[in-house]
Amino acid sequence: MLKKTIEQAFNEQMNKELASAYIYAAMAADFAVKNYNGFSRWMTAQAREEMAHAQKFYEFLLERGGRPLYDTLEKPQKSWDSVRAAFEHALRHEQFITKSIDELVNLARKEDDKAAEIFLQWFVTEQVEEEDSVETVLAKFELAGEDKRGLYLLDKELGSRE
Ligand code: FEO
């Protein structure tokens, strides 16, 4: 039987994952209207990943006899001053999500919910990858520069993300 504390915390995380998708979809739209189609494609893929993360929580809740509950999502920012500013925002956001996952692990341990703890291990590993992929893009800004040519090259490179 799923404890109420875990059910509530997992629901909050499901909604945070959906909010992440919303933020990245808004970034993708902002990039698209500015003709950065590669950056837009990268963020669209990121938004889809977040939807898949939310779905994992949804399925876990149902499998354990819980009730997935969709909450109101905060309106995302509409535009960013630069491509780099958007990726810096994405990194801050991923760090926030990492902290949130770590707190869930602590809760699962406190409640002695082994299944929840094992389920969360995937997210612990995933967050390492999530932060790393954004940090890699930010490092590329250092290499390519943020003049028009540098942005053009990076846009082209990031557009190859599947
Ligand atoms: Fe679902 Fe990007 O963390």
Domains and CATH numbers, the chain: 4-70+79-158 (1.20.1260.10)
Say yes or no to pLDDT of 134 above 80. yes
H helix runs in the chain, sequence order: 4-33, 37-63, 83-110, 114-144, 148-158
Ligand 1: does its nearest atom lie under 6 Å from the Cβ of 7? no
128 and 94 in contact (C-beta within 8 Å)? no
pLDDT of 106 higher than 90: yes
Q: What is the pLDDT of residues 23-71, one digit of tens each?
A: 999 999 999 999 999 999 999 999 999 999 999 999 999 999 999 999 9
Task: Give, for 79, the enclosing helix (H) or strand (E).
Answer: none
| pLDDT for 162 beyond 80 | no
Q: Is the CB of 46 within 6 Å of ligand 1?
A: no
- pLDDT value at position 161? 77
C-alpha 88/C-alpha 128 separation (Å) is 16
Residue nearest to atom 1 of ligand 1 (CA): 50
Average pLDDT over residues 146-152: 90
